[in-house]
Structure 1
Amino acid sequence: MAEDSGQERTEEPTDKKINESRKKGQVARSKDLGTTFVLIFSAIALLMYGPAIAKGLYNIMGRGLTLNRNETYDTTKMFSVWGEMFSEIFFPMAMFVFIITIAGIVGNTLLGGFNFSWQAAAPKASKMSPMKGIKRMLGPQAAIELVKAILKFVLVAGFAILLIQMFFYEILHLSIEQIPSSIIHALEILAWMFLALSCTMIIISAIDAPYQSYNHHKQLKMTLQEVKDEYKNSEGDPQIKARIRRTQREMSQRRMMQDVPDADVVVTNPTHYSVALKYDTEKAGAPIVLAKGVDELAMQIRKIAKGNEVPIVESPILTRSLYHTTEVGDQIPDQLFTAVAQVLAYVFQLKRFQKGRGRRPTKLSNNLPIPDDVKH
């Protein structure tokens, strides 16, 4: 996508991009680092178990070529001889293979960690495309691999010549040594030369491993558009989310408006704020807020209240305090209980008067007991 859009990959890869790349088997790997580990630990294993392997091979050859008269005519003796020869070399060879196997696993997972991907293992037609193969052969990565190969050849060849010169007379001396000491000595020389040659790969690995890590990170970098697209896919399109929030808000307002006719009183600012209250002693210990709104919504609450004969009381300070300290469905704060109680008492007395069951209540005071910490 970045190539198509012409945008540069300037953004750091997101966690989602990194995880997706690991699922596809795209992790930083250094073949030279894995090879170095295998070669060095193979040389170490050869130094540790080479003499035992050499002695075992010598005994196997001697046992296989030495048969007495009875063994010659015994057709079942061959299987027991095989068992004897196998036991001679089993343990040192098993340890040798075990060390190489562990070195191979560690060396190849040291950079990028252990990662197995079915997607990477699955066959792909693109991997068999001749054109893509030619592009890989002629691409910049191929040029880098060629330089590495030449550098490895020069290093290994140079050290090999130096080692042959160092061990030259010792190698010639092998011809006059007695068997099996000559075989063991030859393996020791071979192991030390092998270890020295393997250590030359450390130089290549020290260059290749950081480069592969850098190159992998560079390939994972994203364009600004890719980051935006990923955010939209994971978090959702901001426009769609805004539309959903607007729809939810409208649904909440409709439900709130349906509760206004059940209110005992609506307190107003009187022009900007409206709060509908209900006091149900059986369900709540304090009055609850059924609806609240400002400006147009406040006007709509008052309109519904008038249409359903819900008393409307003007109390600017109380209305603003209720609006800013409560949410729809909440009980009123304890600090406003006394002020609201006076409003409800006035409303209940007014209803009794309108039904002819009492005298007209005195006008509600404008100075309701509202603490300063809840005033707005």
Structure 2
Amino acid sequence: MADAEDRTEAPSARRLQQARDDGQIALSREAMNFIALMAGAIGTFALLPVLLPTFVRNMQLLMMHAGSAPLSHNSLQQTAEQAFQSGLLIAVPVAGTVMAFGIGCGILQSGFLIHPESLLPKFERISPLAGLKRIFGGGTLPDTFKSIAKLLVFSVVVWNSAKKILPETYGMVGVSPGNLMHIVSDVCLHAVVAMILAQLVIAGADILWTRFRHTSKLRMSRQEMKDEYRNTEGDPHVKGRLKALRAKAARQRMMDGVKDSTVVITNPTHYAVALAYEKGTAGAPKIVAKGMDDVAARIRELAQDNRIPVISNPPLARALFPLPLDSEVPAEHFKVVAAIIAYVWKLKQPAAPHTPIS
């Protein structure tokens, strides 16, 4: 494993994907806290005005009948259940709003990643020794400073909100409950809005920091980059060797095709193109071998060893050389090639027998 000082290269796409498959993603907890705080504020200030009158009415009914209700076990249990249900009617919608927003934020941050193994219990999560290492380890120092800074920011926000109402507290004596509730709600609303805005700034900075730290943890050394390339793309030396072997095998097959060719067209030394054609076939002659310089010399040598005619025709050789192997001669060269093949066939015919003069 390379030392941290050697990890100077940005993580590759494969490294990032492997980390994602292992459940390692840049997940900002402060962004989750911002969403939870905002959802809690929305649920509180939007739902409570609708749900609270019902809760107050239920509590009033319970208190009105508190003195007349029998003090039996069933009566007390029924009263407790009614109070508990009334509280749930307020708590569940607010808590559900926070939970829904929190899950949505986590899904958006993770890119819809589902990693069941992260939900499995791990011993290091409950181990006191591992907990102490996480607390006092060097990796937790940034989180500690971040928590202290966050505490200071919220302390300033709460103090500014409370400072505005402190001079007015002495004049609240004797204020009706409705007016007092209105004043407290306004103060709480301003304080919550200020905290949400502060948390928004903290969450934005934490998202940038989390992504930077995640990328830094996955940085690679040059050796790791080479090893990954070798594992994914193959060893360059092995690939070069295999490429050379394939080229050699293809060249050998091409040279074997020269032995079965009909004629070799040359330029006369730079290019050599071997053509094959059988009588009675419907197709045009095919290019079975071609080469230039040393390969052309080898083609001419094989042609001579196998008694295959070598015809010098520079324009035709240059025209046929760019064509791929096993391709047929184009129609514009039919006439010239047909004349050459006819000449070759004529050369291969045995000489007419000599008739003695009687």
Fold agreement, TM-score > 0.5: yes
Distance 1:295 1:183, change over 3 A: same
Name the residue aligned to 2:11: 13
- 1:341 and 1:250, CA in 2 relative to 1: closer, same or farther beyond 3 A? same
> In the TM superposition, what are the counterparts of 1:100-179 in structure 2 within 5 Å?
100-108=98-106, 111=109, 113-118=111-116, 120-121=118-119, 136-168=134-166, 176=174
1:204-215 mapped onto 2 (5 Å cutoff): 204-215=202-213
Q: Is the 8 A contact 2:124 2:131 kept in 1?
A: no
Post-superposition Cα deviations, 1:94-130, rounded to whole Å, max 9, x if no partner, equal 4323321233134445555443334544566776788
CA distance in 2, matches of 1:187, 1:26: 42
| CA distance in structure 1 between the partners assigned to 2:90 and 2:266 by the alignment | 94
Q: How does 1:354-365 map to 2 (within 5 A)?
A: 354=350, 356=352
2:3 maps to a residue whose letter is E
Q: Does 1:56 align with 2:30?
A: no
- 1:3 is matched with 3
Q: What amino acid does structure 2 have at the position aligned with 1:326?
A: L
8 Å CA contact retained: 1:265, 1:278: yes
Q: Does 1:342 align with 2:339?
A: yes
What is the rounded CA distance, in whole Å, between the counterparts of 1:76 and 1:284 in structure 2?
104
TM-aligned CA deviation for residue 237 of structure 1: 1.7
Structure 1 residues 130 and 332: alpha-carbon distance in aligned structure 2, compared to 1, 3 A threshold: farther
**In 1, are the aligned partners of 2:23 and 2:115 still within 8 Å (CA)?**
yes
Distance 1:196 1:320, change over 3 A: closer
How many residue pairs align between the two structures?
354
* Identical pairs, percent: 27
**Superposition deviation, residue 25 in structure 1:** 2.2
Q: 1:7 is matched by which residue type in structure 2?
A: D
**Could you tell which deviates more after superposition, 231-240 or 113-122?**
113-122
* C-alpha separation in 1, matches of 2:114 and 2:276: 63
Aligned with 2:20: secondary structure?
helix
1:41-69 deviations in Å (ceiling 9; x for gaps) = 21232111223343333233233344499
Deviation at 1:207, TM superposition (A): 2.8
Structure 1 residues 201, 321: CA separation in 2 closer, same or farther (over 3 Å shift)? same
Compared with structure 1, are the counterparts of its residues 75 and 129 closer, same or farther at alpha carbon in structure 2 (3 Å cutoff)? closer
Q: What secondary structure does 1:274 align onto?
A: strand
**What is the DSSP-based 3-state SS (H/G/I as helix, E as strand, rest coil) of the residue aligned with 1:292?**
strand
Partners of 2:108 and 2:272 lie apart in 1 by 67
Which has the higher mean CA deviation after the structures are superposed, 295-304 or 86-95?
86-95
SS of 1:167 mapped into structure 2: helix
AA matched with 1:152: K
CA RMSD between the two structures: 4.0
Unpaired runs of at least 5, structure 2: none
- Partner Cα distance (1:53, 1:3) in 2: 59
> What does residue range 163-312 of structure 1 map to in structure 2 within 5 Å?
163-168=161-166, 176=174, 189-280=187-278, 285-312=283-310
Counterpart among 86, 97, 100 of residue 95 in structure 2: 97
Query: How has the CA–CA distance of structure 1 residues 269 and 255 changed in structure 2, closer, same or farther, with 3 Å as cutoff?
Result: same
SS of the aligned residue for 1:202 comes to helix
Q: Taking structure 1 as reference, are residues 210 and 69 closer, same or farther at Cα in structure 2, changes over 3 Å only? A: closer
Q: Decide whether the 8 Å contact of 2:288 with 2:325 is kept in 1.
A: yes
Q: Which stretch shifts more, 177-186 or 190-199?
A: 177-186
Q: Structure 1's 215 and 180: CA in aligned 2 closer, same or farther, altered over 3 A? A: same
Question: Which shows bigger deviation, 56-65 or 338-347?
Answer: 56-65
**SS where residue 267 of structure 1 aligns?**
strand
Which of 259-268 and 305-314 deviates more? 305-314
SS of the residue 2:287 aligns to: strand
Q: In structure 1, how many angstroms separate the alpha carbons of the residues matched to 2:333 and 2:340?
A: 11
AA matched with 1:3: D
User: CA offsets per residue over residues 62-81 of structure 1, 9 Å max, x none?
Assistant: 33344499985999999997
Equivalent position SS for 2:311? strand
Q: Which amino acid aligns with 1:200?
A: A
Deviation string 1:271-306 (CA, Å, 9 cap, x unpaired) is 443322112466553211112233444344344434
What 5-or-longer segments of structure 1 have no aligned partner? Answer: 359-376
Q: One-letter code of the match for 1:332?
A: V
Cα shift at 1:245: 1.5
SS of 1:337's equivalent in the other structure is helix
**Cα distance change on mapping 1:119 and 1:315 into 2, 3 Å:** farther
Q: Distance in 2 between matches of 1:71 and 1:127?
A: 50
Residues 322 and 123 from structure 1, CA distance in 2 versus in 1: closer, same or farther, beyond 3 angstroms? Answer: farther
C-alpha distance in structure 2 between counterparts of 1:357 and 1:171, whole Å:
138
Asked if the contact 2:266–2:272 (Cα under 8 Å) also holds between the matched residues in 1, the reply is yes
